[in-house]
């Protein structure tokens, strides 16, 4: 019988260590999808595994609930140590994982109890320990696979549904997402508490007396389990709607800016027409001054006339009055900030490309470049355009001393601004315009130079 006890103990130890391994892997996999710095994320799973293994083998008796709480907390602390940003989101990950872990294993336990009762009835008169040991091993394997697949499915589904991982989370959003996880944990504790009271009072298992209780527990856990996933899905839907509203608001602002530029162009044309109307008078005055050999007065008059023309004439000539105005204003804004502004942009004449779309690209690209010029010595922005066969390309370059971090999925830079959910729409709007013309955009960095390239297909 000693050998039998040894085999049972060995199988049980292997099962527990294996369970810790798969749980640690799921924790790591969940954290990896949300962490910006993925290089050391494996430490989340490793530390969780080490802490859980240590707590399992220490001789002090500790509640499983407390043990898994300590393990989950250790994973959260590692996430915070690796990346001290988006703390609320990391709290959400830890709390959600803790709840999903309990619910998935509890659902598996309900299924296991039901299966065991059926098997027990079938072989209750068989006393061969080999058969009972085989049943025990089968139960462990089933428990291992079922709980792992259920937990991994939940983690996988969360990272698929949770689209905006790069964005932070407010405390109100954390509390909203915390409710189903807390409800699941409290529901689990209450059912277990009732079970313990019943067994203490009656010295019998409630599962054996009331078979429906086991089914009730499974349904309850499944509802909590589903509620967590559904709320995350709905939350991302709300975030998507908010982002779309902000994008539309931003586009509306840009439409208003374009209208303002058009009004400036119309004002420019009116002033030019006025100058043309008065040009005969100006020429007559200059002619009279030269005939009277009053050269100093003629020179002063010409200087004043040239200054008036310079005031109403954009400094940058692109081939389109609207882009002239936009780039001239951006040049003045850059010079006020001490940023050198170089422009070699030419509007694509005789093409189907809309000036509004070009304006969206220029406004967003230059604004983004201006916000991210962080070189102290000789900061600059350079805008150029050229045609390559059937493609029209716009390049916006800016000096940038930091390392440019790109989102693996979108290819767009990760914003370093505090309110991350309110930024990043400019580049998304540029991409949307580019895709309208069957093109795309690309961002690269070489040394201290970041280049944004936008390609639009002409045909």
> Any idea which residue has 């081939």 for tokens?
319
Q: How confident is the model at residue 314 (pLDDT cuts 50, 70, 90)?
A: low
**Strand ranges across the sheet with 380-388:** 340-344, 380-388, 391-399, 449-457, 440-446
The lowest-confidence range among 93-97, 165-169, 345-349, 406-410 is: 406-410
The answer on pLDDT for 258 being more than 60 is yes
Hey, what are 373's tokens? 């010029």
Q: How far apart are CA 110 and CA 213, in angstroms?
A: 10
Strands 391-399 and 340-344: unpaired
The answer on pLDDT for 404 being more than 80 is no
Long-range contacts of 141-149 (CB under 8 A, 24+ apart): 142/111, 142/112, 142/115, 143/15, 143/19, 143/108, 143/109, 143/112, 144/15, 144/18, 144/19, 144/22, 146/108, 146/111, 146/112, 147/19, 147/22, 147/104, 147/105, 147/108, 148/22, 148/26
Q: How far apart are CA 92 and CA 236, in angstroms?
A: 14
pLDDT computed for residue 384 by the predictor: 92
The lowest-confidence range among 78-82, 130-134, 183-187 is: 130-134
Q: How confident is the model at residue 418 (pLDDT cuts 50, 70, 90)?
A: very low
Q: How confident is the model at residue 422 (pLDDT cuts 50, 70, 90)?
A: very low
The lowest-confidence range among 288-292, 348-352, 405-409, 426-430 is: 405-409
Task: Tell me the helix, strand and coil percentages in the chain, rounded to 5.
Answer: 70, 10, 20
**CATH number of 316-459: 3.30.565.10, 3.90.226.10, 3.10.450.30, 3.40.640.10?**
3.30.565.10
**Which has the closest alpha carbon to 350: 384, 314, 320?**
320
Hey, what are 45's tokens? 């799973």
pLDDT computed for residue 68 by the predictor: 86
Q: How far apart are CA 10 and CA 54, in angstroms?
A: 18
On the 0-12 / 13-18 / 19+ scale of CB atoms within 10 A, 430 is: buried
Do 340 and 379 meet the contact criterion of CB atoms below 8 Å apart? yes
Average pLDDT of the chain?
A: 80
- What is the SS3 assignment for 1? coil
Q: How far apart are CA 168 and CA 239, in angstroms?
A: 11
The answer on pLDDT for 184 being more than 70 is yes
The answer on pLDDT for 425 being more than 60 is yes
Q: How confident is the model at residue 40 (pLDDT cuts 50, 70, 90)?
A: confident
* CA triple 451-455-459, angle to 5 deg: 165
% of the chain beyond a pLDDT of 90: 13
* CA triple 333-339-343, angle to 5 deg: 75
| Residue 27 bridge partners (DSSP) | none
Q: How far apart are CA 364 and CA 423, in angstroms?
A: 12
Whole-model pTM?
Answer: 0.65
On the 0-12 / 13-18 / 19+ scale of CB atoms within 10 A, 195 is: middle
The lowest-confidence range among 84-98, 118-132, 390-404 is: 118-132
**Which has the closest alpha carbon to 347: 362, 333, 329?**
362
Q: CA separation (Å) from 213 to 106, 110, 120, 195?
A: 13, 10, 18, 10
Give me the mean pLDDT over the 308-329 stretch: 74
Q: How far apart are CA 56 and CA 15, in angstroms?
A: 12
Residue 417 DSSP label: S
Domain range annotation of the chain: 2-244, 316-459
Q: How far apart are CA 259 and CA 237, in angstroms?
A: 33
% of the chain beyond a pLDDT of 70: 77
pLDDT computed for residue 423 by the predictor: 46
Give me the mean pLDDT over the 257-286 stretch: 63
Over residues 300-309, the pLDDT tens digits come to 777 776 666 6
Residue 93 DSSP label: H
> From the CB of residue 111, how many other CB atoms can be counted at a distance below 10 Å?
17
Q: How confident is the model at residue 118 (pLDDT cuts 50, 70, 90)?
A: low
The answer on pLDDT for 454 being more than 90 is yes
């Amino acid at each position: 019988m000693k050998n039998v006890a040894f085999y049972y103990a060995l199988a049980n130890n292997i099962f527990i260590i294996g369970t810790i391994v798969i749980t640690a892997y799921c924790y790591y996999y969940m954290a990896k999808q949300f962490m910006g710095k993925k290089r050391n994320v494996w430490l989340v799973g490793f530390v969780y595994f080490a802490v859980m293994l240590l707590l399992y083998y220490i001789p002090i008796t500790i509640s499983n609930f407390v043990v898994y709480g300590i393990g989950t907390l250790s994973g959260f602390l590692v996430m915070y140590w690796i990346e001290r940003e988006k703390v609320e989101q990391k709290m959400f990950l830890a709390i959600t994982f803790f709840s999903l872990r309990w619910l998935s294993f509890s659902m598996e336990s309900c299924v296991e109890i039901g299966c065991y009762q059926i098997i027990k009835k079938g072989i209750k008169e068989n006393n061969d320990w080999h058969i009972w040991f085989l049943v025990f091993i089968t139960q462990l394997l089933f428990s291992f696979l079922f709980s792992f697949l259920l937990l991994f499915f939940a983690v996988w589904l969360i990272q698929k549904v949770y689209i905006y991982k790069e964005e932070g989370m407010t405390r109100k959003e954390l509390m909203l997402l915390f409710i189903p996880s807390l409800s699941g944990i409290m529901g689990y504790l209450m059912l277990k508490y009732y079970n313990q009271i019943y067994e203490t009072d009656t010295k019998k298992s409630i599962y054996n007396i009331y078979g429906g209780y086991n089914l009730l527990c499974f349904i309850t856990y499944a509802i909590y389990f589903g509620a967590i996933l559904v709320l995350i899905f709905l939350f991302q839907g709300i975030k998507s709607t908010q982002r779309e509203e902000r994008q539309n608001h931003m586009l509306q602002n840009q439409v208003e800016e374009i209208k303002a530029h058009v009004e400036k162009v119309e004002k420019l044309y009116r002033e030019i027409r006025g100058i043309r109307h008065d040009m005969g008078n100006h020429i007559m005055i200059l002619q009279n001054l030269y005939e009277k050999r009053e050269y100093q007065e003629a020179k002063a008059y010409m200087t004043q006339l040239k200054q008036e023309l310079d005031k109403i004439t954009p400094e940058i000539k692109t081939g389109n009055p609207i882009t002239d105005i936009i780039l001239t204003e951006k040049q003045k804004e850059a010079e006020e900030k001490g940023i050198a502004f170089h422009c070699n942009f030419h509007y694509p004449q005789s093409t189907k490309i809309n000036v509004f779309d070009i304006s969206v690209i220029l406004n967003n690209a230059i604004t983004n470049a201006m916000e991210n010029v962080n070189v102290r010595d000789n900061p600059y922005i350079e805008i150029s355009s050229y045609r390559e066969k059937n493609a029209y390309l716009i390049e916006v370059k800016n000096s940038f001393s930091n390392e440019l971090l790109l989102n693996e999925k979108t290819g767009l830079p990760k914003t370093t601004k505090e309110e991350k959910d309110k930024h990043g729409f400019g580049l998304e709007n540029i991409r949307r315009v580019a895709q309208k013309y069957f093109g795309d955009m690309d961002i690269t960095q070489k040394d201290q130079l970041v280049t944004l390239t936008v390609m639009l297909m002409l045909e």
